[in-house]
A and B are shown apart, each in its own frame.
Chain A
Amino acid sequence: MKSNKALSIILGGLLLTSAGCKKYLDINKDPNNPLDVSENLVVPPVELTTSTNIVGGFNGTTIAYWMQQLSLNQPYPDIETYLIKSADVDNTWSFYLYPNVFENLSQMMAKASAAGHNQYMAIGKILFAYNMAICTDTWGDVPFSEALKPLEIPKPKYDKQADIYNGIQAMLDSGIYYTNQPASAIAPGNDDLIYGGKMDKWRKFAYMLKARFYLRLTKAPGNTAAAQADLALAALANGFASNADNAKVSYTGTSQGENPWYENTLPSAGGVTLAESFVDSLNARNDPRLPVIATKAKDGTYKGRPSGIDQGLTPDYTAFSVPNTFYGGYLPLDDNDNSGAAAPLWLATFSEQKFIEAEATFYKSGAAAAQPIYDSAIWAHMQMLGVSRPEFLAYLVTRPVLTAGNALEQIISEKYVADFLSIETWNDWRRTGFPALSLAQNPYTTYIPRRWPYSFTEVTTNPQPEQQGVTTATRVWWDAQ
């Protein structure tokens, strides 16, 4: 009898009540990571992704090698000799751009919009447009209108680049609208690593970007250089006023706070030098910017490495000039000077704007009208680098006067120097053909690539007709012959 009682108690105890069970199992809430954060915590990672992972990341290094501003001292075939695979570009598409920038900004703007935080809306719109332009300039047709809807549209279709550019301009206009709105109680400040929350600077930046993107389409089918020039000049009226308005991300230079170009030029990166064609052209013109841009090689001269040369012939990369600390370079011959780590990363400069203005003025009003703007563009860059006015004037005298025949080449070639380590050089080269570059030695392809292959993850998860038959030779829409 006793044992029967024990039995029934035990059996009863075994049958746990459903409600008690459910409560006991209700412990699946993540204590380690927040589910909701405010806008000021979203903006810094997005801005750093843009500067460290994109503009100063794989996009920056690839374009610097292809445009022969830098050279990589590694055996071919490699990125310098145009070997690029869908796996190489995967991080940029599958992590940095769509999830880390676009999705994060989209979530931030949803929050800001609901709360009426106008200034965060402004930053969101402008950064989104800035990065979307990078995305489409690199890959041509990409998802835009159907993007960022994981539940509703698991396989977003690709939009035409023309439509994407219209969307970018609309987004910039929206950003400008928000910069003009009254300040809200919660507004960006220190968390904005680019402008510290100052809306007048963001407004100028947005207008400058509008001009940049208008001028991008001078050769796009259905557009004319003259029309694009007009649009650009109209926007530029409200653009940057001086170097003080430059869009940049500042780095601390301390450990785990270094400039991306410092990281890109560490010895572990394999030996990054300046390219021969770039150094030779600066040497030939006695350009006073050379000592600021480059270091002396081991033998005391300024010397660049021939692009694509057999690495067996160039075993020691310190036999060449490397980027100087102004642009973030690590100095292999002067280990104690790591000031490069604290250099800022430029997203858009006043001198680039001036060159846009010069080119647009040339289309609209001719070489003579463009001349003074062209001169001030060069001066803007030299000023940024700390070159003195007399040196600038001495340099200017050696430059040919702009004529109808040489204006475009002169403007873009000087812009190429002012845009050292900027990804804009590739856009300008594709669009205008300047500066004239010869193929690197030992090239993997018989041409300099005009776009990137679609990312490996994208091709396997979202097959789209636009991906068919695309090689690195396929021109994007605005890169018409």
Chain B
Amino acid sequence: MRKTLMLVVVLLCASMCVEAQTRQISGKVTDTKGSPIPGVTIKIKGSRAGTSADPEGNYTIKVRPSATLVFSGVGLETQEVEVGSSDRLDVTMKQSDSRLSEVVVTALGIRREKRTLTYATQEVKGSTLVEAKQDNLVNALAGKVAGVQITNSSGMPGSSARITIRGVSSLVGENQALIVIDGVPVDMEEAGQPDNTLFAGGLSSRAADIDPNIIESINVLKGSAATAIYGSNAARGAVIITTKNGAGHTGKPTLSISSSYTFASPILPKFQDKYAQGSNGKYANPSSTSWGPLIDTLKINGAPAKKYNNVKNFFRDGHTTDNNVSIAGSTDKSNYIASYSYLKTDGNELTTNYARHSLFSKYTTRLLSNLTLTTQFNYIHVDNHRLLEGNGLENPLWTVYAAPINWNPLPYLNPDGSQQMYRTARNNPYWLVYNTGLDDKTDRILPVVTLSYNPLSWLTITERLGADMYTNNTDFHENVGFVGSYPDGRIWKRTNQFQQFNNDLFLNARKSFGDFSLDAVVGGNILTNYNNSNFVQGTELSIPGFYNISNASNVTASYGYYKTRKVGVYAQANLEYKNMLTFSATSRYDGSSKLSQDKQFYPYGSVSAGFIFTEPLHMAGNPVLNYGKVRVSYSAVGNDNVGPYSLSNPWYHNGIGNIAFPFNGVNGFQLTTTYGFPLKNEAMKEFETGIETKWFQNRASLDVTYFYRKSTDLLTPGVPYAPATGFSSVSINAGDMYNKGIEVVLGVTPVKTRDLTWDITVNFSKIKNKVTRLAPNITSIQFAGFVNPGIFAFAGEPYGVIYGTHFLRDSATHKLLLDDNGKPQVDVGNDIIGNVTPDWLGGLTNTVTWKGLMFSFTLDMKKGGNILNLDKHYLYAYGTPKETENRGTTKIFDGIIQSTGKQSDIPVVLNQSYYANIASIADESSVEDGSYLKLRQASLGYNFSNSLLKTKAVKNLTLTITATNFILHKNYSGSDPEVSLNGSGNGQGFSSWDVPTNHNIIIGFKASF
């Protein structure tokens, strides 16, 4: 008892003594511009004690005399300051320019240091996107991110581009990455084409609505570990876009203006220019084909025949103007930015154009010391005038590419008002330009409200409500006099009303416990989607040229409502030890309205770890390898990748051929031809491992990642089924698929001096994909094209094989089996004749900066991947491609005469009969290699701010000249091997009369005041 009392007294004394010796230090932490930095960690060196700066940047801490305080924060250079005689210690902290403290925006808009990430990501700065000078921001990413494949669809203004990360993981259904803007997922689809994309081409893409000028940075989250917190919509990867804000523009507001002009010239396929209209060497008019005599010696009606280059004459040079003005500013309590852009493109086909107005505004303000409110909205208006692409007769390219060179398409009307044509059943292309067309208008608004509450220094509660709302109106017309199914004209109008609301409420806690620091997130998400579509079509126009539904003799209409909902709860925990070892775990539980009621809810999650092995080895100062991290992750994600109402077998109000209901006073319905089986979620398991290294004191970096992703129970809403069952397709969980590959990103800075910097970044990815299993009664799934040829998936084959007719070959040696005349023979069955998946993709970006001068270029390379160029199938029969100039010459085919078994030595005359009866018939003749090497962009710019401008008014002035989309190498005979009739849809690698893309030269300036 006494002893205890003594102990207590001693302790009390000791503590009092200690107290008498401790001091209370307080101060404010600010950045170099004087703004307070909240949340900075202040630790006592050598001790476990510490505190954090409050939202005002103020802190208070008790220290012993001559203690050293360590100030550290995300993205900031750590500072150690000795406590001096004063009790007040204000500290200014600098942004860390070391790449070690690179900050990236991850899922949900949470900023994390790249060091602590346990999965693969890659960042692209907003300025890079703007430099790429593309109308569609998805195109701007091409060649810049490893593992990401961007495929443009065509040269039509407003065209969509498809973005897939790490290959395709779903059979039929959305395969594109999720686009998230400021934490809110947005729609980036192309609206459905009522006349079917195969016959009419695509429509404007919603991804193209986003103005690159408002983007601060893009972070591409590649693997499912990265996106497991976003839920199944991000199972294919996510593109996290962060828009600009006004922070950093202290004092007077900053006004920025930029403007550019693009000059575009079309890349045209090549055609023969020697042989005129006719057949078998004889001139004939009308005639569908160009197998006539040599035009140089041809006389028509006594006069020498004139030669016309119809392809070159039909296309014009396009141009684009892009103007942006923005104003940004900040005070210590708030910051704001407002930006307006206007983009106008005139396409390379007459009358086609695309105009986009984009108004963006963001306002962040501190309501209370620990409550911040951000409100923003983005209003976009798009106006797109298109001509039809695809296989329908409304596409002018049917005629432009197939017309004989002796035909002058102008004037396009005969004196009696009918079209001037070179044959039946093909419209005059100029008549189509002035009498058909599609107008696509969209009004879109993306508002987001974010409330951020800091009740405790280590806890942030965020409530974010965002919406994506748009109305999309498409008007189509074809005038009286059209040669096709509707000679008396047709108009239709389709209105889509789309509304999507996303609500996230989550807690983010950051706390340090000695050597450990924990970053945890817990939250809930609700995503609702509502779509209302109206369609009205009128045929038989009473007054030619008047395109209003009142003018139609026969009107049919339909409309539909679509509603889906998703709820989810999620949690994520990140534990870091001594800045070198990180463990991370995520989990999520989702429920979707689209799946069967008993299988609606599905859980998933991920675990991952990262180890910076250079830390314990103290290699940060090592001249060779100064940073190295290994990471490994494993995730399991669920997916509800199917449309609403897929579980039932409804009756449809279909037309029968040309007949529309009601017919003769009666109505009728037809049972669906797709049988709906009960559906559960898809599952995807992914294993990823990688190594990130930095060499020569950050002068070089090498990141290598390997991933293996297996998708099971893939949802397939329309898989072919034996039609004799009464249903020709079924909606079912069918099949498994895997993707595996490596991604390599290499960065080198060979030169870095005060005036001169030279950066090179190379990225490379190789992805292998295979459909391992299809459900028991499913043999194949078709994505695009005709039944034959088309793009399919078969078990045991990579996703996206081209299936069609081919030449007869010996099954062992694979040599051609020729007939007795040495000619190839077309086999009676169908087979796999190509594969759309590329062998590998690579990109190289090179930037040189010298004082104010900047020069950079990006090369983009795709090796392998076939394209089914359906144009060839038709054009071979017509005799217009450049290849057919060799008519009359002979060729000995490398094959075996089937009847004798001997190698052929019989020359075959390559004439009309060969091209029309043999080459054109086999679909394999239309399969081409889609490899290419493109100069995506090359730009030269000069920044005037340092040298010439001495005035304070102009802060910044940059002039640039850029060239984009120059194809350095291609094996493709069409315009651009980066083509897809299906736009951003799943059936890639299929081309049918797509509008050619352009070479572009752009000049522009950017100034800020």
Contact = CB atoms under 8 A, between A and B. Distances in A.
Contacts of A90: 787-788
A193 B562 CA distance: 34
A458 interface: yes
Contact of A455 (B564, B569, B656, B723): B723
Nearest to B560: A32
A190 B665 contact: yes
Interface stretch (A140-148, A217-225, A239-247): A140-148
Contacts of A250: 664
Interface stretch (A101-109, A162-170, A203-211, A228-236): A101-109
B485 interface: yes
B505 A10 contact: yes
B119 interface: no
A444 B652 CA distance: 40
B358 interface: no
Contact of B777 (A25, A48, A154): A154
Contacts, number: 302
A185 interface: no
Interface string A80-119: 0001011100100111011110111011000000000000
Nearest to B655: A256
Contacts of B644: 28, 30
Contacts of B653: 33
A288 interface: no
A32 B668 contact: no
Contacts of B459: 3, 7
Nearest to A100: B670
Interface string B495-516: 0000000000101000000000
A87 B730 CA distance: 20
A142 B286 contact: no
With a 10 A CB-CB cut-off, give which of B280, B650, B671 has the most chain A CB atoms. Answer: B671
Contacts of A13: 505, 524
A469 to B, nearest CB: 10
A315 B671 contact: no
A460 B722 CA distance: 8
Interface string B667-680: 11111110100000
Nearest to A15: B569
B248 interface: no
Interface residues of A, number: 106
Contact of A315 (B287, B564, B569): B287
A449 B257 CA distance: 72
A133 B920 CA distance: 35
B220 to A, nearest CB: 29
Contact of A150 (B393, B563, B721): B721
A102 B722 CA distance: 14
B593 interface: yes
A74 interface: yes
B828 interface: yes
Nearest to B789: A87
Interface in B739-785: 776-780
B625 interface: no
B523 A315 contact: no
B649 interface: yes
A156 B724 contact: yes
Given A52-B658, A312-B279, A315-B287, A154 B651 contact: no
B669 A255 contact: no
A11 B520 CA distance: 14
B136 interface: no
**Interface footprint category on B:** 35 or more
B371 interface: no
Contacts of A27: 563-565, 593
Interface in B786-817: 786-788, 805
A25 B657 contact: no
Contact of B788 (A85, A103, A267, A269): A85
B286 to A, nearest CB: 4
Interface stretch (A38-46, A354-362, A405-413): A38-46
A16 B524 CA distance: 9
B291 A263 contact: no
B510 to A, nearest CB: 15
A479 interface: no
Contact of B288 (A25, A74, A191): A74
Nearest to B726: A103
B650 A461 contact: no
Contacts of A156: 722, 724-725
A49 B669 contact: no
With a 10 A CB-CB cut-off, give which of A3, A94, A193, A312 has the most chain B CB atoms. Answer: A312
With a 10 A CB-CB cut-off, give which of A2, A103, A471 has the most chain B CB atoms. Answer: A103
Given A27-B593, A94-B723, A257-B664, A471 B828 contact: yes
Interface in A240-266: 250, 252, 254-258, 260, 263, 266
Contacts of B456: 3
B312 interface: no
A312 B668 contact: no
Contacts of A131: none
B285 interface: yes
A313 to B, nearest CB: 7
A268 to B, nearest CB: 5
B424 A267 contact: yes
Given A25-B567, A94-B723, A155-B777, A315 B670 contact: no
A41 B725 CA distance: 22
B196 interface: no
Contacts of A29: 645, 648
A119 B983 CA distance: 50
A190 B666 contact: yes
A57 interface: yes
Interface in B829-856: 829-830
B350 interface: no
A35 B289 CA distance: 50
A37 B656 contact: no
A397 interface: no
A471 B829 CA distance: 10
A21 to B, nearest CB: 5
B916 interface: yes
A26 to B, nearest CB: 7
A87 B659 contact: no
Nearest to B421: A267
B721 A28 contact: no
Nearest to A332: B424
Contacts of B668: 41-45, 48, 191
B125 interface: no
Given A45-B670, A258-B659, 19 more contacts: A10-B505, A16-B524, A25-B591, A30-B648, A53-B656, A77-B921, A90-B787, A95-B673, A98-B728, A150-B721, A154-B777, A190-B665, A193-B663, A254-B554, A256-B655, A313-B279, A460-B779, A461-B721, A462-B722
Interface of B: 278-280, 282, 284-289, 291, 393, 423-425, 455-456, 459, 461, 483-485, 487-488, 505, 507, 522-524, 539-540, 553-554, 556, 559-567, 569, 591-594, 597, 600-601, 644-645, 647-661, 663-673, 675, 720-728, 730, 776-780, 786-788, 805, 828-830, 877, 916-917, 921
Q: Which 9 A-B pairs have the closest CB atoms?
A: A312-B279, A103-B726, A87-B788, A33-B650, A255-B554, A462-B722, A255-B540, A143-B724, A30-B645
30 contacts: A7-B459, A10-B507, A15-B569, A26-B593, A28-B647, A30-B645, A30-B648, A33-B650, A33-B651, A37-B669, A41-B667, A42-B668, A42-B669, A42-B671, A75-B288, A99-B726, A99-B728, A150-B675, A154-B721, A258-B659, A260-B658, A310-B279, A312-B282, A313-B279, A313-B284, A315-B286, A453-B828, A457-B728, A461-B723, A462-B722
Interface of A: 2-3, 6-7, 10-11, 13-16, 21-22, 24-37, 40-45, 48-49, 52-53, 57, 73-77, 83, 85-87, 90, 93-95, 97-100, 102-104, 106-107, 142-143, 146-150, 153-156, 190-191, 193, 250, 252, 254-258, 260, 263, 266-271, 310-313, 315-317, 444, 453, 455-458, 460-463, 471
